[in-house]
Amino acid sequence: MPDTTERRPYHHGNLRTDLLDAAERGLRAHGAERLSLRDLARDVGVSHAAPRRHFADRRALLDALAESGFVRLGERLRTAVNEIGDEGDLPARLHAFASAYVRFATENAALIGLMNSSKHRPGATAVAEAAAAAFGQISDLIQDGQERGELEGDDPEETGLVIYATVLGITSMLNSGMVEPARLEGLVGTAVTQFLRGARPAEPR
């Protein structure tokens, strides 16, 4: 009878990604606060000090998690907007953007909380860049609309920032329990239409 005790190799192979996966599961299950490096090490089947080779710090692990979150969020937003069609009307694309953001945020509540709360340590430019990339898309959208005359306004980045902030705020209120999930759809709807009403070019008298 062969030995059933699985003999793991000394080198795990891809500890880093496995740790991140386990971390994300833990995040989803118990929140970021009680996410312990030692626990993750146990989950992956590795000694308690092993993670240190890949993450200098608990904070570093969380930052990496946040960064990967921003990357995936960015992808989701991009595909959501693109699915509408390249020359689709702006309102639809805006709504798709906001809707996709909110969906991502509800499906990954703890992760989004981590992303926003993460006061990334001084050197962590990676997470900031990923966030900027995700956010930048809306500025492009706005600029597009302005160039085509569908929108009025001056600074596309500034207005984009405001929209992004609105959606972010909505999900934040949702995740902290200030508003019930059932109201989500309605909220993003009024937010987007409110914005569009405010940004449309003045009708000729």
Give contact residues for its own copies (rule: CB under 8 A).
31, 113, 115-120, 128, 131-132, 135, 155, 158-159, 161-162, 164-170, 172-173, 175-179, 183, 186-187, 190-191, 193-199, 203, 205
Among 28, 38, 148, 183, binds DNA (CB under 7 A): 38
Taking the chain, what is the end-to-end CA distance rounded to the nearest angstrom?
Answer: 91
- Of the pair 84, 124, the CB lying nearest its own copies is at 124
Kindly state the smallest distance separating residue 56's Cβ from DNA, in Å.
Answer: 7
Q: Helices (H), strands (E): how many in the chain?
A: 8, 0
Whether 29 and 35 have beta carbons less than 8 Å apart is answered as no
What Å distances lie between residue 95 and 73, 113, 194, CA to CA? 16, 22, 12
- Which of its own copies, DNA, none does 57 bind, CB closer than 5 to 8 A by kind? DNA
Q: Where are the alpha helices (DSSP H) in 108-183?
A: 109-117, 125-147, 156-175
- Smallest CA-to-CA distance from 112 within 76, 145, 88 is with 76
- Of the pair 28, 38, the CB lying nearest DNA is at 38
- From 44-52, 86-94, 106-114, 137-145, give the range in contact with DNA by CB under 7 A: 44-52
- Of the pair 143, 166, the CB lying nearest its own copies is at 166
- Which of DNA, its own copies, none does 20 bind, CB closer than 5 to 8 A by kind? none
Whether 160 and 142 have beta carbons less than 8 Å apart is answered as yes
Count of residues making up the chain: 205
Query: Which x/- pattern over 5-34 shows residues binding DNA (rule: CB under 7 A)?
Result: ----xxxxx-x-------------------
Site for DNA in 46-85 (CB under 7 A): 46-50, 52-54, 56-59
List own/partner pairs for 149-152 with CB under 8 A and 24 or more apart. 149/201, 150/89, 150/90, 150/200, 150/201, 151/90, 151/199, 151/200, 151/201, 152/199, 152/200, 152/201, 152/202
- Which of its own copies, DNA, none does 128 bind, CB closer than 5 to 8 A by kind? its own copies
Q: Give the interface with DNA as residue ranges (CB under 7 A).
A: 9-13, 15, 35-39, 41, 46-50, 52-54, 56-59
